[in-house]
Amino acid sequence: MGEGCTPETQQSIEDFEQKHNVKLPAAYRALLLEFGACNFGDPALYSVKELSWAYPDFLEVYREYEKEYELPADLQPFPIGGFGEGSMAILDQNSGKVLMLIHDAGETPLREIAVDFNELMTMLAESAIWVQEQMN
Q: In the prediction, which pLDDT does 6 show? A: 86
Q: In the prediction, which pLDDT does 4 show? A: 54
- Distance in angstroms between the alpha carbons of the first and the last residue of the chain: 25
Q: In the prediction, which pLDDT does 13 show? A: 98
Q: In the prediction, which pLDDT does 120 show? A: 95
Q: Is 4 left (phi over 0), alpha (psi -120 to 50) or beta?
A: left
For 18-67, the DSSP string reads HHHT----HHHHHHHHHT-----SSSEEPPHHHHHHHHHHHHHHHHHHHH
pLDDT by residue, tens only, the chain of 136 residues: 444 578 999 999 999 999 999 999 999 999 999 989 877 788 999 999 999 999 999 999 999 999 999 999 999 999 999 998 889 999 999 999 999 999 887 888 999 999 999 999 999 989 888 888 888 8
Q: Supply the CATH classification number for the domain 10-135.
A: 3.40.1580
3-class DSSP state of 100: strand
Find, among 46, 39, 7, the residue nearest to 127 by Cα.
Answer: 39
